[in-house]
Amino acid sequence: MSRLVIKNLGPIEECDLECSHFMTLTGFQASGKSTIAKAIYYFRTVKDDILNLAKNQAWDTVPIDELEDQFGTIHGTTLKKGLENYLREKFLRTFGSSWGMSNEMYMEYYYTDTCFIKVSLKEDTKFNTPNYIWITFSDELKTFLREKNNFFMATPLGVADDDVRKLKTELYNIFHDGCSVVYIPAGRSMITLLSQQVGYIYAIMDDVQKRSLDSCTRDYLERILKLKSEFSEGLQGLAAYSSGKTRISSELINQALFLIKKILRGTYRYSNGEEQIVLENGKYVKINFSSSGQQESVWILNLLFYYLLQQNPVLFIIEEPESHLFPESQKYIAELIALVSNCKHSIVLTTHSPYVLGTLNNLLYVQTLSNRYKQKACKIISNYVWLDDKNFDAWFVKEGTVENCMDREIHMIQNERIDEISKVINKEFDELLCLQDTNEKGDNC
């Protein structure tokens, strides 16, 4: 199991947590949940960074007129050095400028006991700038990068697919991680609201403007622009196209479609350059005229369903899936996420919602029932969404620290963490009742 350590980054003062197959992060506003989620994204996408840098390195060494350039390579950067430089830039695009950060900031990620990366800050004596971003690789990773330097040989047709697959396999092995990463940030409705304009806006942005977007939002935006056309026949059409190519049962796919329909009150379609919510009566509404809940949730649902059909393992990092959704829909979206996690996809979920956490608790509890009751339980909650607490963890983020809020005795999230604010609300209500009693019976409060 991988492990994330953070110190003095944003609101997080101290964090040390193991990253399980399904993990939730809850806590007060601005407590640092997104900081942790972005740190996981930062480290878990390093294997993809290495693969892309290796491809670029191959193009840098392409012979000119079939003769080597007199300087050997165009840039002459080793894979290790190129990765260090890229991770510095990626840090700035993910977390913002390091100049205002504590010089005691560091974060590190242990993929295995012998493979890790650490990011820290130090004074830059060469350029006299504060908080230079310093990247440290484990010995195992340094050896790997040295061995894979100039791994690819570029030809006029590009890099050989077999070579790409070989390096990808080796990367998955050293990082002990076969998941691609899909980040779904909060504040999704603005991108959906500008549905018809966002492609044009992004196309006319230059590289500097694109780099000004934080890494997670840019990744999300580019993914949507790339995948829209896959939904030209709607979700049902996408499922029909995948029929026969997927090992996922039709019952499970139908359960996913059922949950999506319950959340959207319709289904999604991309037709004639328009994003649409198709209603039960066959009519449709353009996505930019749909409800705020539909706009916030539609691309969570699309991405979950698309990669569910693809079957290649994905780590989904989802921020606040409950945004603008009625409590019933929050229940359904939590069940859909659980269904996807049971199909070998990993989940990191940030949430403020007691309805989401309460639903997850029900899905954990049903798995603990004895076999004699499970058949009856299926009629209450579909067994496709049951969760195993052995692969699940919940973390509470508060006052700069994180603590595990799983009750291991009952295999569920601690109830006091699910609805912590209710204690404050109930206390205030009791005090108000006491005021009324004071007026009627004298000062007894």
Mean pLDDT by 10 residues, the chain (445 residues): 95 96 94 96 97 89 43 63 95 92 94 97 72 94 96 84 95 96 89 66 69 85 92 94 84 96 95 91 90 94 96 96 96 98 97 94 93 91 96 94 93 83 77 72 59
Task: State the sign of the Cα–Cα–Cα–Cα dihedral 86, 37, 20, 347.
Answer: negative
What pLDDT is recorded for position 273?
Answer: 87
Query: Which amino acid is residue 341, in one-letter code?
Result: S
What pLDDT is recorded for position 68?
Answer: 40
CB 26 within 8 A of CB 1: no
Query: Which amino acid is residue 263, in one-letter code?
Result: I
What pLDDT is recorded for position 198?
Answer: 64
Q: Could you give the CA distance from residue 235 to residue 237 in angstroms, rounded to a whole number?
A: 5
What pLDDT is recorded for position 213?
Answer: 79
Distance of CA 30 to the CA centre of its chain: 18
Residues with Cβ < 8 Å from 95, sequence gap 6 or more?
9, 10, 35, 38, 42
Helix (H) or strand (E) holding 92: helix 79-95
What pLDDT is recorded for position 199?
Answer: 66
Predicted TM-score (pTM) of this structure: 0.90
Q: How big is the chain, counted in residues? A: 445
The CA dihedral of 334, 319, 306, 299, to the nearest 10 degrees, is 100
Largest Cα–Cα distance in the chain?
A: 99
Distance of CA 360 to the CA centre of its chain: 18
Q: Edge-to-edge, what's the strand order for the sheet holding 2-9?
A: 129-137, 116-124, 106-110, 2-9, 12-19, 401-404, 392-398, 22-27, 346-351, 314-319, 180-184
Q: Could you give the CA distance from residue 260 to residue 352 in angstroms, rounded to a whole number?
A: 21
Helix/strand/coil for 334: helix
Of 427, 192, 174, the C-alpha closest to 297 is: 192
Instruction: Residue 58: count other Cβ atoms within 10 Å of its Cβ.
Output: 19
Encoded tokens for 322: 């409950």
User: In the chain, how many H helices and how many E strands?
Assistant: 17, 16
Instruction: Residue 208: count other Cβ atoms within 10 Å of its Cβ.
Output: 7
Task: State the sign of the Cα–Cα–Cα–Cα dihedral 213, 214, 215, 218.
Answer: negative
Residues with Cβ < 8 Å from 341, sequence gap 6 or more?
21, 22, 347, 387, 391
Pairing of β 314-319 and β 180-184? parallel
What pLDDT is recorded for position 440?
Answer: 60
